[in-house]
Amino acid sequence: MADDDHEHDHDEEHEHGTLHFERSEVAQPTLTVIAALHPALADVLILAQRFDKLTEAEKADLASKQEAVEACVTWTPGFWAAGDMCAVCESPAPAIFEDRLVEGTLAYGAFIDDVPVHLRKDCIAGFAKKAPRRAPQTIDKLRRQYTRDRQARPSARLTQFFRYDLLSRPPFSLEDWANSVADANAEKMGRSDARDIERLIQWVHKRLFH
């Protein structure tokens, strides 16, 4: 009996992988700041807050605006964890918004080169003084110093590619998503890219299904 129960739980656990996006949640004061620092992200959040009421045309517009978020080079929303510290002012960096799914929530913070920063003009601008040349060794040191769960966290860039699909074609399976990304980028995907995809699957699965 114990073995049968264990097998059932194991199978059931591995069926947990389909994501059902409901809406984004962001505090109005934070949205005002985002609008000033990242207009494309603000546009996405305004629409995604009422996702269940969007027309098909608005959903297509949402996907287009999310592509603009991916293209922004100043800073990028990435998965947030408690304990993240702003690398510029060296104080706790809170989450800036959440995506709510049937399965749970995914929190996001602000990142530059996968290093957490505050959602403040001074902190975002000040990163250039903290790492003027953005040498790989310097960036890696900052990540290790100010980011929690660093080893398990996917890049902010991949997070936003993932978020495009989360917003544009729900529901979908984590495994199907990973396979589609791998297939679409088979000719140019290296080991680091494959590890990044695996980290994203682990990050999302842990927060939504455990």
DSSP-derived secondary structure for 109-149: EEEETTEEE-SSHHHHHHHHHHSSS--HHHHHHHHHHH-SS
Percent of the chain residues topping a pLDDT of 70: 92
Q: Which two tokens stand for residue 140?
A: 């890696």
Q: What percent of the chain is modeled with pLDDT above 90? A: 70
Residue 110's beta-bridge partner residues?
Answer: 77, 117
d(CA 162, CA 49) in angstroms, rounded, equals 18
What's the mean pLDDT in 161-175?
Answer: 89
pLDDT at 107: 98
Arithmetic mean of pLDDT over the chain: 88
DSSP designation for 85? B
pLDDT tens digit sequence for 16-58: 479 999 999 999 999 999 999 999 999 999 999 999 999 999 9
- 67, 61, 30: which is closest to 47 by C-alpha? 61
